Amino acid sequence: MAEPVLSGGCQCGAVRYRIEGTLGHAGICHCRMCQKAFGNWGAALVSVPKAQFTWTRGKPSEFRSSAIVARGFCAGCGTPLYMNEDGDPNYDIAIGTLDDPEQAVPTSQVGIESELSWFKALANLPSHSTEDDRTAEDLRKLKSLQHPDHDTEMWPPISKSSP
């Protein structure tokens, strides 16, 4: 049986990657560093052996969030891509950067000492689709300019109306 091949990347498409093989452990981290790195309640991450991982377009920039942890991100759009502890043979990839994030279902949570008081209530909030509160004109203006959820020969695409 062939090993799975997954891909992903940043929002603007400047940094893309490929994973050849099975994903490792997926989990949620609530630590304060992940909150700040992702600008959110925390981070959903999946472990991937570096030996199965290839940067296919561009390279991420890095920020050392502690003496032993580097965090990779796209310098162009700011998308958080990974964290890596010194000496760890794995990247912890941001699940949302996978082209198919459904492939990495979190099975545990860590850093709960920093969990925000309202996190557990998120699933109980009222919800609706984007289309429910937008006009057709609004939706046309919201047309995504981000990289699609699949590999492309080049990005951004060359406009057919360009000289």
CA dihedral 154, 149, 89, 23 (to 10 degrees): -140
Residue 159: per-residue pLDDT? 61
Please, are residues 13 and 57 in contact by the beta-carbon 8 Å criterion? yes
Q: Which is nearest to 50 in space by CA: 104, 91, 98, 5?
A: 91
Residue 149: per-residue pLDDT? 86
Ordered by where they begin, the domains of the chain are 5-117 (2.170.150.70)
Parts of the chain with a pLDDT under 70: 1, 157-163
pTM of the model: 0.87
Q: How far is CA 86 from CA 9, 66, 69, 89, in A?
A: 22, 10, 6, 9
Residue 163: per-residue pLDDT? 43
Q: Which is nearest to 50 in space by CA: 13, 80, 78, 92?
A: 92
Maximum alpha-carbon separation in the chain: 57
Residue 162: per-residue pLDDT? 43
Residue 25: per-residue pLDDT? 98
Please state, as a whole number, how many other Cβ atoms lie within 10 Å of the Cβ of residue 146.
Answer: 13
Coil/strand/helix, residue 102: helix
Residue 160: per-residue pLDDT? 53
